[in-house]
Every structure is written in C-alpha cells, then in structure tokens.
Amino acid sequence: MYTFESRVRFSEVDHTEQMTLPSLVNYFQDCSTFQSEDLGLGVDVLKRRKKAWILSSWQIVVNRYPRFGEKIRTATWATGFDGFFGTRNFQMTDKEGQAAWANSVWIFMDIEKGRPVRPAAEDVEAYGMEKPLEMEFAPRKIALPKETREQEGFSVRADQIDTNEHVNNCQYIQMAAEVMPECARSGQIRVEYRKSAVLGDRIYPKTAVEAARKIVELCGADGKPFAVIEFKENGQDGIR
C-alpha cells in the first residue's frame, strides 16, 4: 500500500467549504502517479519506452466530502494484473474515518503503436498485489440509456490536456458535473473511458435521467462517446 498525507486546500473546495468531486478524484490520481514515480516507473520512464498505463474505468464511492483545512490520508494499492489489464484500489480517510474509496481498471498501452500490450515483469512486480476492498464491484462497462437529450457542445481547452497529450481523466468528470450540476455531490460515480479527446476536439454532451441514475455521454462529432459518466446516490454498493 502506498499512502500520502495532506490537508484540504482552499483551492480544492467550493462555496460550501467541502472538497469538490474533481479535487477528490485528483487526490486518487495523484496518489497512483506518486507511487509510480517513487518506484522508478513514472511518467518520464514510461514515455521513453513509448508505454503508458491508460485508465479504462472508475468506480468511486463517496461517504463524505472532506472540508477545508481537514487532514486527510490517501492510499492506493494494486489488486491484480491480467493480460494487459491492471486493477487498483484507493481510499481516502479523514478525522471521521473512510471518506471515499474506489476501484479502477487500467490498460497498458504501446503509445507508438496505439494498442494494448502485455506489460513486462518489470512493469508490474514492483507494485506487488494486495487484497482488494470488500465492496460490490460494478462492471467496467456502463450500460447506455435508451433515450438521451442533446446538450450544447464545447471545445477541449489547452488546460485540460495531460502529459499524454490527451484530455486528463479527471477533466471528463469535471465536464459531466458542469453539464449536470446537481450531480456534483454524488455518492457514487462510475466512468467508462471509450476513446481519448485531444486539444481542439468538440465535445457534444448527451444526458439521461433514470430512476436510479443520471448519465452523461461526452461524445465526439461522430456521436460516439469519449467517456460515459454515471452518477448515483449512495446505496448498497459501499465498503463493508
């Protein structure tokens, strides 16, 4: 298990003084990249080898959003490797206990060839493997709604691009929360990443409201999703 401690910054909260959903996701994302850097398997190392771990899906459960100034501890650990897939869990704890936790699925990619490849032993052995969280794991793929409403499109900005020259994983969640502001404090969030958006792409959101969930499809000009985001309230999918 890899951990780091921090304190909720003013820049990470909204008008309620609670951490925003994108800030929480960034803590998880940063925790995994910090571990890779400390193990000597960071961004620059993989970039020289034309390889990268690309996030395929998130399943995030939020018990509470920590408040400004609170001390928090973020943890992550690998739970399995199978072919070109890797799975990783996350936890965030605060003074009240478990604030949030997540499962994630990653794909090891040959960036030069643009296709998944099986990672070498050196790419996985340093992480080890630990027992996964005792939570109800959702499928990697999100079922699309039968009916959607088209929303106003927008362009990808330069500040949304990461070191892989793609839209950063968290930015899709930010976009979806802006399209559906009522979901900004959701208790359960799932994301399925379909294809990478790049600078200058136009994104055309489609939304749907169902009995148990709200969905945002962030689509390209061809109507196919870059990412699908599902928001739910907390229910029976929490940690045990």
Residues of the chain with pLDDT under 50: 236-240
Judge whether 238 lies within some domain: no
Residue 179 phi/psi, 5-degree rounding, is -70, -35
Question: Smallest Cα–Cα separation from 111: which of 191, 162, 48, 58?
Answer: 48
Residue 106 domain flag: yes
- Interval 115-138: pLDDT, tens: 999 999 999 999 999 999 999 899
The DSSP 8-state label assigned to residue 179 in this structure reads H
Residue 104 lies in a domain: yes
55 within domain boundaries? yes
Tens-place pLDDT, residues 211-231 = 999 999 999 999 999 999 999
Instruction: Please give the residue range of the domain that contains residue 219.
Output: 2-232
Residue 13 domain flag = yes
CATH code of the domain in which 14 resides: 3.10.129.10
Look at residue 48 in the predicted model and tell me its pLDDT: 92
pLDDT on residue 233: 87
Q: What is the reported pTM?
A: 0.91
88 occurs within a structural domain: yes
DSSP assignment, residue 212?
A: S
Residue 235 confidence (pLDDT): 54
pLDDT at 237: 42
How many structural domains is the chain composed of?
A: 1
Q: Is residue 237 part of a domain?
A: no
Does some domain include residue 239?
Answer: no
